Structure 1
Amino acid sequence: MALLEVKHLTKNFGGLTAVGDVTMELHEGELVGLIGPNGAGKTTLFNLLTGVYEPSEGTVMLDGTLLNGKTPSKIAALGLSRTFQNIRLFKDMTVLDNVLVGLSNGRSPHLLASFLRLPSFYKNEAELKQKAFDLLAIFGLEGDAQTLAKNLPYGQQRRLEIVRALATNPKILFLDEPAAGMNPQETAELTDLIRQIQEQFKITVILIEHDMSLVMEVTERIYVLEYGRLIAHGTPEEIRTNQRVIEAYLGGEL
């Protein structure tokens, strides 16, 4: 059984069909790309899969659990985490505190222990901080732990957003245009980072990206959307030579 099963997913906004009859699946440990021209419905599809939007039709199943009707926070607790096109950090909080927010997702500390500041409360806090520092160290951000997120360079802010998403211990990580606004060096570092995530954390990664060189280099399979509908699915080489995909990109080379 696939880790994520999407069947006939549709989202209508009034008379407009933003996503239409999309069926796809993701398996454990794979890295998948989602591409398409501007306005193809890629982010809308991500929003449907992560609970931001409720589908008009169709179903989304994660590891056998139906996600339809669940809130984004509940879906995150079940194992879906994401980043966004526009970076959404807590910019006036430190790097460390941003990661602690991710680590706290789905945890329910005992109210009495928190209120009375019992030893178990401090033990839990210490464990979370150590996990946060460990994650920051993996991605080279431990030296910035006490830096406000807004004071990080752009590429490091992107990196922090990914680390915070990983802190929720996801089964699937959704990356929405992670290379947006990056220079070539930052994009190269991001390519290495995505590989590192998949290899080290053994999770499924799906990314929306307009940088075709990045997509072709790191993904195993690619889905292609146009006007909210899937028009192709295959390996990077199959997508690169697919005439329908080439036409969708107005004759541009992939």
Structure 2
Amino acid sequence: MSLLEVSNLTKNFGGLAAVSNVNIELVENELVGLIGPNGAGKTTLFNLLTGVYEPSEGTVKLTIDGQEAVLNGKKPYVIAALGLSRTFQNIRLFKDLTVMDNVLIAMNGKNKVGLLTSMLRLPKFYAKEAEMRRKVIELLAIFDLEDKIDTLAKNLPYGEQRRLEIVRALATEPKVLFLDEPAAGMNPQETAELTKLIRKIQQEFGITILLIEHDMSLVMDVCERLYVLEYGRLIAKGTPEEIKNDPKVIQAYLGGEL
């Protein structure tokens, strides 16, 4: 059964179709890539899936534990609560807050102690807060950031800011994680480390990942399946090997062999 089913998804901006009649299916615990040049509509598609934009046509359906939810028209925070989380092409951390606070904010939706308990600062409130901080430290340790909990996000090196944004997304306990060009701006060593990290995330957290990325070596290395967009339209889908040898992909995106 599909975890996320995207059917005939279209987004028009005036007379321009940024995304046109796109069909995508994601199942549990798989790592899928979405590739294409700048302007192909990849980030627009992410924005449609996460509630930033509302589709002009088509539907987005999430199915978890047999429960179906149509995501059309839902606010981003509602979609996040249902189990979809994302990072951004341009890092969007709370730069003047600490590493700890950046992740705690994301985890806040899971803090269900109740309004009265929070207002009166009852023992249950402090117990829950301590539990959340422990979970944050455990998450940060996976990403080698546990020694930076009191560092302001803006003072982290670029690669660590990227990792922190992924930690923050994982703190919402998603079923599906969307990564929008996580290797952007990274040097080859950082990209290699990120490749290992993405594999580790999928294995340790058991989640589905949809990855936008221009680095073909990373995409071909970690993804099980690929979707290819051109001018907002889906032109190819298949395994990395199939995509690598697809004439339409080579001609439209790669200009030659991978």
Which bracket does the TM-score occupy, shorter chain normalised? over 0.9
CA, structure 1 residues 32+250, in 2 after alignment: closer, same or farther (shift >3 Å)? closer
- Alignment partner of 1:162 is 2:170: no
Q: Which amino acid in the other structure matches residue 19 of structure 2?
A: V
2:117 and 2:124 in contact (8 A); partners too: yes
Matches within 5 A, 1:1-254: 1-63=1-63, 64-249=68-253, 251-254=255-258
Question: Distance between the aligned counterparts of 2:180 and 2:83, measured in 1?
Answer: 17
Identity of aligned residues (%): 74
Q: Which TM-score applies when normalising by structure 1?
A: 0.98
Question: Distance between the aligned counterparts of 2:49 and 2:20, measured in 1?
Answer: 14
Question: Distance between the aligned counterparts of 2:7 and 2:112, measured in 1?
Answer: 33
Runs of 4+ in 1 over 6 A off after TM superposition: none
The number of equivalent residue pairs is 254
Question: Distance between the aligned counterparts of 1:72 and 1:5, measured in 2?
Answer: 17
Residue 104 of structure 1 aligns to a residue in which SS?
Answer: helix
Report the alpha carbon displacement of residue 247 of structure 1 after superposing the two structures with TM: 1.1
Question: Distance between the aligned counterparts of 2:254 and 2:209, measured in 1?
Answer: 28
2:48 and 2:54 in contact (8 A); partners too: yes
Report the alpha carbon displacement of residue 108 of structure 1 after superposing the two structures with TM: 4.2
Report the alpha carbon displacement of residue 109 of structure 1 after superposing the two structures with TM: 3.6
CA, structure 1 residues 216+23, in 2 after alignment: closer, same or farther (shift >3 Å)? same
Report the alpha carbon displacement of residue 113 of structure 1 after superposing the two structures with TM: 1.0
Residue 109 of structure 2 aligns to a residue in which SS?
Answer: coil
Q: CA RMSD in A?
A: 0.9
Deviations 1:46-91 (A, max 9, x none): 0000000000000000112110110000000000000000001011
Structure 1 residue runs without a partner (length 5+): none
Residue 100 of structure 2 aligns to a residue in which SS?
Answer: helix
Report the alpha carbon displacement of residue 101 of structure 1 after superposing the two structures with TM: 1.1
Question: Distance between the aligned counterparts of 1:167 and 1:250, measured in 2?
Answer: 36
Report the alpha carbon displacement of residue 252 of structure 1 after superposing the two structures with TM: 3.6
Deviations 1:4-25 (A, max 9, x none): 0000000000100000000110
- Which stretch of the first structure deviates more once superposed, 112-121 or 178-187? 112-121
Q: Which TM-score applies when normalising by structure 2?
A: 0.97
Report the alpha carbon displacement of residue 250 of structure 1 after superposing the two structures with TM: 5.5
Q: Which amino acid in the other structure matches residue 143 of structure 1?
A: D
